[in-house]
Amino acid sequence: MIDSIQIRDFRGIRWGEVDGFKQLNLLVGPNNSGKSTLLEAIYLGCTAGQPAHWEGDSFEPAQVSLSGRDFLGDLPLLRVLKRHRYHLRKAGQGPYRDGCLNISISSPAAPLRRFQLHVPDLPILPDSLRDMDSKISRIEIDEGAQVALFACASGRDAGRAERALAGRILQLLSPTQGAGSTRQKTVQSGHKTPSGPNKQRRTAQRGARPSSGTAGPGQQTAIPRRPPAAQHCIYLWYPDLTYHSAGVAAWSLTGKLASPEHVLFFDVSNTHYHFYKTFLRDTMTRVPGWTYKIADCLREVLGIARSFDFHVQFLPAKDNDSLIQGWIAPRDQPALPIDAYGDGTRTALKILASLLSLVEQATADSPAVLLWEEPELFQNPRMLNRLLREIARLIEGKPLQLFMTTHSLEVVACVAMLVREGLLPADSLRAFRFSLEEGTLRSSWFHADNLLSWLERGMDPRIWDTLGVPLQFTLKEQEEGAE
């Protein structure tokens, strides 16, 4: 299970640190507060599992890992670029030849600027992507263009060369970079205090200065008191994904990471796209009764009577035979493709189909992570409640860690109710509230009792005050026999 993350110069976050993750992590906060960026950093970090050999000046050769395909078969960097309407382009990568890729990074802030990556096999880029991007950027696109980050182990089990390489990456996260005397302090409140969550990390800024090449004038950054004892360090050099196009980004993850092939990122795009045929083949051979389980779960989520009998089937998509499309096949009615139904039903089927496969394949030695962005999308409140309950049932006792971002108070209240009803262990939940100030990520967190206390008093854990909020939500439970 991932315990913590530290981020430097990744997307909108110039500096951020979050620790204390649990099995179920609920991420709330205003728009542009870093929630999705955190999901993407975890996604790219956990999917970096393809072995490669690193060589560079002043360092011994080291073993690193590059992005591989995720649980559904997507290429992670391309998935993130597509989310932000960026096009694949060369970012310091030379031609990919004979299993070797030369990297040259122009950013003066880069602690590693020139090196080679030796990797015998890179995933083949889709022809549609290659054609689209080459027309727009007018550059040659080859498989090497998808390599814009690598990960390096820095824990006790890592070799000397790997620890040295990770140490150079961690310079971006060390106290010597940026605001030298700036500290972070965490103040924890007592249990069930309605006055507030465990307090936001507050930065006492004492004459801090922005580091050269990583921030604009006048900006200050919270820096930890000591370098992180990271187990997994990620170094990225794709300018469009760095803070104010700084050129490089770095982050570290501690704890036991999910296996790259067991990382599931689920957002609005999953509703509108089909599964890969390879995902269907792998799941059908590894998960007994998968399509029957999907039908049973979907029936519960839709609130359909047991007397309505239907099966879920998957057939090749009409427009692309490498993709497969879900179908709902009632016993006494013609079958319809899932895309003929509403977006709420389509979303429910696809998250259930994905998760049912994931929880069956995850093990203690090869755990899984689900990164779910805004589960409330397309969902009626009643159906949302049933969907979250079904998700809680599926992950119970499984080696799977869940991160959910949400703007919905109903999602927060539903998760809290699941804890109250004993469907989720109280010690498995933590809710984080984020804010982003001049690139600095600040966070406060609620444990389960604290979260319930806020909801019961009609307070909104998503925001600090009620100004400009037209709705208040009170979580109440009427005692049996009460009037």
Angle of the 448-456 helix axis to the 409-420 helix axis, nearest 10: 120
Q: Give the bridge partners for 232, in sequence order.
A: 153, 253
Angle of the 343-361 helix axis to the 381-395 helix axis, nearest 10: 10
**∠ Cα 60 65 66 (to 5°):** 125
Residue pair 190/235 in contact (Cβ under 8 Å)? The answer is no
Ranges under pLDDT 70 in the chain? 126-142, 174-230, 464-483
Q: What pLDDT score does 473 carry? A: 62
Closest by Cα among 443, 446, 74 to 260: 74
Q: Which residues contact 17 (CB under 8 A, 6 or more apart)?
A: 4, 5, 6, 7, 184, 201, 222, 224, 441
**Pairing mode, strands 400-405 and 368-373:** parallel
Q: C-alpha distances in angstroms, 112 versus 99, 100, 105, 399?
A: 21, 18, 8, 36
Q: What pLDDT score does 87 carry? A: 80
Please tell me the distance from the alpha carbon of residue 252 to that of residue 9, in angstroms, as a whole number.
12
Q: Give the bridge partners for 440, in sequence order.
A: 15, 437
Residue pair 274/323 in contact (Cβ under 8 Å)? The answer is yes
DSSP conformation class of 463: S
242 burial level (CB within 10 Å; 0-12, 13-18, 19+): buried
Alpha helices in 170-306 (DSSP H): 268-272, 277-286, 290-302
Please tell me the distance from the alpha carbon of residue 229 to that of residue 124, in angstroms, as a whole number.
35
Alpha helices in 303-371 (DSSP H): 343-361
Please tell me the distance from the alpha carbon of residue 346 to that of residue 363, in angstroms, as a whole number.
28
Q: Which two tokens stand for residue 32?
A: 């542009």
pLDDT in tens, 90-128: 788 888 888 899 999 988 888 899 999 998 887 777 655
Q: C-alpha distances in angstroms, 53 versus 60, 69, 216, 246, 313?
A: 11, 19, 35, 26, 43
Please tell me the distance from the alpha carbon of residue 49 to that of residue 53, in angstroms, as a whole number.
12
Q: Which two tokens stand for residue 188?
A: 């924890």
The SS3 assignment for 359 reads helix
Please tell me the distance from the alpha carbon of residue 69 to that of residue 77, in angstroms, as a whole number.
10
Residue pair 62/453 in contact (Cβ under 8 Å)? The answer is no
**CA of residue 456 relative to chain centroid, distance:** 30
Q: What pLDDT score does 420 carry? A: 92
DSSP conformation class of 257: P
**Pairing mode, strands 24-28 and 400-405:** parallel
Q: What pLDDT score does 323 carry? A: 93
Q: What pLDDT score does 136 carry? A: 39
Q: What are phi and psi of 98, to 5 degrees?
A: 50, 40
Residue for token pair 């932000």:
84
**Pairing mode, strands 440-446 and 429-437:** antiparallel
The SS3 assignment for 275 reads strand
State the amino acid at position 408 in one-letter form.
S
End-to-end CA distance of the chain, in Å?
45
Residue pair 461/197 in contact (Cβ under 8 Å)? The answer is yes
**∠ Cα 284 287 293 (to 5°):** 100
**CA of residue 398 relative to chain centroid, distance:** 19
377 burial level (CB within 10 Å; 0-12, 13-18, 19+): middle
Please tell me the distance from the alpha carbon of residue 2 to that of residue 15, in angstroms, as a whole number.
19
pTM score of the predicted model: 0.86
Q: Which residues contact 39 (CB under 8 A, 6 or more apart)?
A: 27, 265, 371, 373, 403, 405
pLDDT in tens, 349-393: 999 999 999 999 999 999 999 999 999 999 999 999 999 999 999
